[in-house]
Structure 1
Amino acid sequence: MENKIITVADYLRLVNDTLALIPSEAINIIGEIVDYKVSQGKWINFDLKDQEEEVKISCFATTFKIQLPLESGMKISVKGYPKVYERFGKFSLNVIEVELVGVGTLQKAYEALKKKLQAEGLFSTERKRSIPKFPARIGLITSGEAAAYGDFLRILNNRWSGVEVVHIPVTVQGQHAVREIIEAFDQFNALPSTEKPEVIVLTRGGGSLEDLHAFNDEQTARAVFQSTIPVVVGVGHERDESLCDFVADVRASTPSNAAERIVPNRADILREIGTTANRMEDVLKLSLERKTRTVDHGISKIDQIITSKLVNMRSKVDGMVRLFKAFDVQKSLDRGFSIVRKDGKIVKDANKVGLKDVIEVQLAKGRVNSLVIAKDLGK
């Protein structure tokens, strides 16, 4: 075979063409971060060191693609495209995806991100919203194949059946989990107001720190924070605490507890209604008794007033009767007095009759007619 002579630049281009044939999307490279640096707030440079061999790969990335809180000493798994920069002849890896590896690294990243989000106010209790006491529609974000899905629906229906549950199935761990969870939040928040759920539940079963990675991801936490609909997060077991738990409006300890936090127990409500009804009945009885006593007192007072009025009226009537009897004409006639009338009219003055006038004299018993033969005008 004839030797071909090419320039260094051509050779590097040939190397890059060969490297481009590597199926980079299917290869994960694991190593330890060395000499981690961020330039101008957007350019990330670090070396990826092998754990057993003293070999390194220079890595390049952007903060736009890599949003994990990285630092030197962390163990990570990366995907990227290998390339030799023709200008310098330096081999490097253009990183497009990073995953944390190992409990120590995950814990360190978890604490760093927790501190960052807390400083930004994402955990503030002042911003947390209350959820409706009797929601008619619930948005559910979880895997449809997991036990968490069944546990949530079972407890929900046992406590308060008839609630509409709109489920958007997602994977809760793995490389697609973060994207699917964020898309589910976007779908719920984009619905018309007449179709929006009154509360969103993000839930899954328990797991290791690695399993819960999607619930500790910064993008997921911000999706919970930015939701216009109140969010309840229920992850795993009592001991599990994800960053989404801290951001949520309501934190539930398990998927079952999430259902308990959202809807009341029908039996408790019926018992409360019965207690309230009994209390109202007692209040009404007491009020009726008080009103009855007030009415009885009023009737008694009216009776007293009427009796007093009647006594006063009786006294007046008796006085009038006595006065009437004192001026009784018949009694005066009985005592010897008489009444003189002329032409039917009582005569009080002798000047009103003339001699030879006929007058009528009323006596105690009977009347007589008299002829005036004389009269005395004296007093």
Structure 2
Amino acid sequence: MLPVFSVSQFMAEVNGIIAGRFIVEGEISQYKVNQGKWVFFDLKDETSCLGCFAVLFKLKAPLEDGMKVRVTGIPKIYEKNSRLSFTVESVELIGDGSLKRAYELLKNKLAVEGLFDTGRKRAIPRLPNRIGVIASGESAAWGDFKRIITNRWGGVEVYLRHVSVQGASAVADIIQAFREFNDQAAFFDVLVLIRGGGSLEDLAAFNSEDVARAVYGSKIPVVCGVGHERDESLADFVADVRASTPSNAAELVVPDKKDFINEMSFELEQMARLLAHGVIVRKQNVGTLFYRMQSRLEAPLVRARHTFTSLVECRLRLERQVGRYREFVQAAERLFKNVDPRQVLKRGYSLTRTSRGSIVRSSDELDRGEKIMVELGRGVITGEVIDKA
């Protein structure tokens, strides 16, 4: 004999049967937000429609009618009206069309709020001492960045914070990295966010509102180089300096040492020319004055001669000083060449690094079984610590 239920008992029985967490895929329709926090929409396919409810702060991307999404949540039949509703816990955009539309909606929103305004963007230091990098430590983007920094300007300290750059944990990883660097804001001169190229879905973390606001709120000037030259992300637009690629980010952060030395030489030569011109002008002025006063009092003539002599001596001192500056620049260039680590490596020495890229100065810094990289004059050897003394 079948059991007899009251209506309330039957509804509770049905809710017990359907209890659980489900993932449902469909197209959004009838999307609306009430009181600025309660979200209601229908999820439909060719034959069926499911009413959905969500809290606005849980939605990490803008939504609108027509977008194809995959929602995770819990179904329930409400006793008062017997209506089935799906309480949404998270939403994942599906397809390039939905991702692109959500990107445009969020881009417009952030632009209206002023996150892209050029007036708030900060200049990065010309010669940074310490650079923080947020990237995947296993990526080609990080390898290219590190190589270019080393080749262009030796001696700068680079600190990597390894993060996931795509997937479910990417956004939280990147935001946490910004927090950690900003906790030591006085220690770092510039912060660099980089990732290699990919599809719009691959770059989703860099188009999220939370990451954009983390870049905007950074106390340290931010350089962002995400993807290839044709790619763009919201993090790019918010950053103080936008780089077309991770390699370009390295080029923007530090100057090339040869160009820097040439620039210094040019500036000194310009200064010498200006000083020499000034001496000539003053010499001409003194000559004119001398001519005018020659027929006048002897005393002014004597003073003019003294002035002329002083100016000549000044010019000679300036010329000697400029010569010393030029010798200093030439000596500095020779010094740069002598202390170039690659020259040392070519003489048979090697440079050992940990798997994280840190230079090994003592065997106490390594453990047995730990991976190491040995940089030679030509090439790199990857090995493992078997024993140490």
Q: TM-score, normalised by structure 2?
A: 0.70
1:289 deviates by 6.8
CA contact (8 A) 2:74 2:86 kept: yes
Q: Aligned match of 1:69 in 40, 62, 65?
A: 62
Q: Aligned match of 2:138 in 137, 145, 148?
A: 145
The equivalent of 1:165 in structure 2 is 158
* Structure 1 residue 37 corresponds to structure 2 residue 29: no
Q: Deviations over 1:72-120 (max 9, x none)?
A: 1100111112222233322222111111111111111111111111111
1:267 deviates by 0.8
Query: CA 1:192 to 1:233, structure 2 compared with 1: closer, same or farther past 3 Å?
Result: closer
Q: Aligned match of 2:198 in 194, 207, 232?
A: 207
Counterpart of 2:32 in 1: which secondary structure?
strand
CA distance in 2, matches of 1:271, 1:192: 32
1:132 deviates by 0.9
CA distance in 1, matches of 2:203, 2:97: 14
CA distance in 1, matches of 2:164, 2:18: 33
Q: What letter corresponds to residue 16 of structure 1 in structure 2?
A: N
* Structure 1 residue 216 corresponds to structure 2 residue 207: yes
CA contact (8 A) 2:206 2:212 kept: yes
Counterpart of 1:64 in 2: which secondary structure?
helix
Q: What letter corresponds to residue 200 of structure 2 in structure 1?
A: L
CA distance in 1, matches of 2:90, 2:65: 17
The equivalent of 1:325 in structure 2 is none
1:305 deviates by 5.2
Q: What letter corresponds to residue 243 of structure 2 in structure 1?
A: A
Counterpart of 2:57 in 1: which secondary structure?
coil
Counterpart of 1:34 in 2: which secondary structure?
strand
The equivalent of 2:243 in structure 1 is 252
Q: What letter corresponds to residue 106 of structure 1 in structure 2?
A: L
Query: CA 1:56 to 1:150, structure 2 compared with 1: closer, same or farther past 3 Å?
Result: same
* Structure 1 residue 11 corresponds to structure 2 residue 2: no
Q: Aligned match of 2:41 in 46, 51, 59?
A: 46
1:7 deviates by 2.3
CA distance in 1, matches of 2:280, 2:105: 68
1:250 deviates by 0.6
CA distance in 1, matches of 2:209, 2:270: 51
Alignment of 1:104-119 (within 5 A): 104-119=97-112
CA distance in 1, matches of 2:207, 2:185: 29
Q: Aligned match of 1:99 in 85, 92, 110?
A: 92
1:192 deviates by 5.9
Alignment of 1:1-379 (within 5 A): 3-20=2-19, 22=20, 24=21, 28-50=23-45, 53-191=46-184, 193=186, 195=187, 197-283=188-274
Q: Which runs of 5+ in 2 are unaligned?
A: 303-389
1:162 deviates by 1.7
Counterpart of 2:31 in 1: which secondary structure?
strand
1:3 deviates by 3.5
Q: Which runs of 5+ in 1 are unaligned?
A: 310-379
CA distance in 2, matches of 1:284, 1:68: 61
CA distance in 2, matches of 1:67, 1:192: 28
Q: What letter corresponds to residue 40 of structure 2 in structure 1?
A: N
Query: CA 1:111 to 1:3, structure 2 compared with 1: closer, same or farther past 3 Å?
Result: same
CA distance in 2, matches of 1:192, 1:278: 38
Q: Deviations over 1:302-354 (max 9, x none)?
A: xx959x99xxxxxxxxxxxxxxxxxxxxxxxxxxxxxxxxxxxxxxxxxxxxx
Q: TM-score, normalised by structure 1?
A: 0.71
CA distance in 1, matches of 2:163, 2:137: 7
The structure with more radius of gyration: 1
CA distance in 1, matches of 2:217, 2:253: 20
1:163 deviates by 1.5
Q: What letter corresponds to residue 73 of structure 2 in structure 1?
A: G
Q: What letter corresponds to residue 36 of structure 1 in structure 2?
A: Y
CA distance in 2, matches of 1:76, 1:283: 67
CA distance in 1, matches of 2:133, 2:82: 52
CA distance in 2, matches of 1:17, 1:140: 50
The equivalent of 2:308 in structure 1 is none
CA contact (8 A) 2:185 2:220 kept: no
Aligned length: 298
1:288 deviates by 6.5
Q: What letter corresponds to residue 202 of structure 1 in structure 2?
A: L
Q: Deviations over 1:20-45 (max 9, x none)?
A: 3x4x3xx5422100111111111111
CA distance in 2, matches of 1:97, 1:162: 46
The equivalent of 1:367 in structure 2 is none
Query: CA 1:221 to 1:192, structure 2 compared with 1: closer, same or farther past 3 Å?
Result: closer
CA distance in 1, matches of 2:16, 2:159: 49
CA distance in 2, matches of 1:75, 1:185: 32
Counterpart of 1:208 in 2: which secondary structure?
coil
